[in-house]
Amino acid sequence: MTYKQVFNELVNNIKKGYAKNKSSRKYKKNKHSENLKLSKLYGYTITPTGEVQIKQGECELIKKVNEMIANEMLLDEVKRNIDLLNYRTRGNNRWSVSQLKKLVRLIY
Protein backbone atom coordinates (compact mmCIF):
# COMPACT_ATOMS: atom_id res chain seq x y z
CA MET A 1 0.00 0.00 0.00
CA THR A 2 1.14 3.48 -0.73
CA TYR A 3 1.18 6.27 1.80
CA LYS A 4 -1.80 7.90 0.09
CA GLN A 5 -3.90 4.72 0.29
CA VAL A 6 -3.04 4.20 3.97
CA PHE A 7 -3.87 7.81 4.74
CA ASN A 8 -7.21 7.66 2.88
CA GLU A 9 -8.16 4.43 4.65
CA LEU A 10 -7.31 5.97 8.01
CA VAL A 11 -9.38 9.09 7.27
CA ASN A 12 -12.35 7.00 6.12
CA ASN A 13 -12.25 4.91 9.30
CA ILE A 14 -12.19 8.06 11.43
CA LYS A 15 -15.16 9.50 9.52
CA LYS A 16 -17.17 6.28 9.96
CA GLY A 17 -16.43 6.21 13.68
CA TYR A 18 -17.40 9.87 14.08
CA ALA A 19 -20.69 9.38 12.21
CA LYS A 20 -21.52 6.33 14.34
CA ASN A 21 -20.74 8.14 17.59
CA LYS A 22 -22.70 11.21 16.50
CA SER A 23 -25.83 9.22 15.72
CA SER A 24 -25.60 7.22 18.96
CA ARG A 25 -25.21 10.45 20.95
CA LYS A 26 -28.29 11.87 19.23
CA TYR A 27 -30.25 8.72 20.05
CA LYS A 28 -29.20 8.76 23.72
CA LYS A 29 -30.02 12.45 23.99
CA ASN A 30 -33.54 11.97 22.62
CA LYS A 31 -34.19 8.51 24.07
CA HIS A 32 -36.43 9.78 26.85
CA SER A 33 -37.49 13.02 25.24
CA GLU A 34 -40.97 14.16 24.38
CA ASN A 35 -40.25 13.58 20.67
CA LEU A 36 -40.85 9.84 20.99
CA LYS A 37 -44.43 10.53 22.10
CA LEU A 38 -45.32 12.74 19.14
CA SER A 39 -47.95 11.70 16.68
CA LYS A 40 -47.12 11.31 12.99
CA LEU A 41 -49.70 14.04 12.39
CA TYR A 42 -48.10 17.42 12.93
CA GLY A 43 -50.01 19.40 15.55
CA TYR A 44 -50.83 16.47 17.82
CA THR A 45 -49.08 14.56 20.59
CA ILE A 46 -49.85 11.31 22.37
CA THR A 47 -50.09 11.26 26.18
CA PRO A 48 -48.63 8.40 28.24
CA THR A 49 -52.17 7.04 28.59
CA GLY A 50 -52.50 6.89 24.80
CA GLU A 51 -54.85 9.86 24.35
CA VAL A 52 -54.27 12.34 21.53
CA GLN A 53 -53.78 16.00 22.46
CA ILE A 54 -53.37 19.15 20.39
CA LYS A 55 -49.98 20.90 20.45
CA GLN A 56 -50.74 24.63 20.38
CA GLY A 57 -47.43 25.82 18.90
CA GLU A 58 -47.66 23.39 15.99
CA CYS A 59 -51.31 24.28 15.40
CA GLU A 60 -50.42 27.98 15.11
CA LEU A 61 -47.92 27.13 12.39
CA ILE A 62 -50.44 25.01 10.50
CA LYS A 63 -53.00 27.84 10.62
CA LYS A 64 -50.48 30.42 9.40
CA VAL A 65 -49.26 28.22 6.55
CA ASN A 66 -52.83 27.47 5.44
CA GLU A 67 -53.73 31.18 5.59
CA MET A 68 -50.72 32.07 3.45
CA ILE A 69 -51.61 29.43 0.89
CA ALA A 70 -55.24 30.58 0.89
CA ASN A 71 -53.94 34.08 0.09
CA GLU A 72 -52.31 32.54 -3.01
CA MET A 73 -48.71 32.74 -1.80
CA LEU A 74 -46.20 30.41 -3.40
CA LEU A 75 -44.58 27.81 -1.17
CA ASP A 76 -41.21 29.54 -1.57
CA GLU A 77 -42.74 32.73 -0.16
CA VAL A 78 -44.42 30.77 2.62
CA LYS A 79 -41.07 29.19 3.51
CA ARG A 80 -39.39 32.59 3.59
CA ASN A 81 -42.09 33.98 5.92
CA ILE A 82 -41.94 30.92 8.19
CA ASP A 83 -38.15 31.38 8.44
CA LEU A 84 -38.61 35.05 9.33
CA LEU A 85 -41.08 34.10 12.07
CA ASN A 86 -38.46 31.60 13.31
CA TYR A 87 -40.69 28.52 13.26
CA ARG A 88 -38.76 25.25 13.38
CA THR A 89 -39.56 21.59 12.72
CA ARG A 90 -39.72 19.03 15.51
CA GLY A 91 -36.04 18.35 14.89
CA ASN A 92 -35.27 22.08 15.37
CA ASN A 93 -34.42 22.57 11.69
CA ARG A 94 -35.75 25.13 9.27
CA TRP A 95 -38.74 24.14 7.18
CA SER A 96 -38.16 23.12 3.58
CA VAL A 97 -40.60 23.51 0.71
CA SER A 98 -41.10 19.73 0.48
CA GLN A 99 -41.92 19.55 4.21
CA LEU A 100 -44.45 22.35 3.81
CA LYS A 101 -46.04 20.45 0.92
CA LYS A 102 -46.42 17.41 3.18
CA LEU A 103 -47.82 19.58 5.95
CA VAL A 104 -50.65 20.94 3.80
CA ARG A 105 -51.18 18.05 1.39
CA LEU A 106 -54.50 17.13 3.01
CA ILE A 107 -56.16 20.40 2.00
CA TYR A 108 -55.54 20.11 -1.74
What are 18-59's pLDDT values in tens digits?
555 555 555 555 544 555 466 677 888 888 787 888 888 888
Give the pLDDT confidence score for residue 11 in this predicted structure: 65
Q: What is the separation of C-alpha 32 from the centre of its chain, rounded to a whole number of angstroms? A: 18
Q: Confirm whether pTM is higher than 0.85.
A: no
Q: Is the pLDDT of residue 77 over 90?
A: yes
Share of the chain above pLDDT 70, in %: 65
How high is the mean pLDDT of the chain? 76
Nearest residue to 102 (alpha-carbon basis) of 55, 62, 44, 64: 62
- Report the C-alpha gap between 30 and 36 in whole angstroms: 8
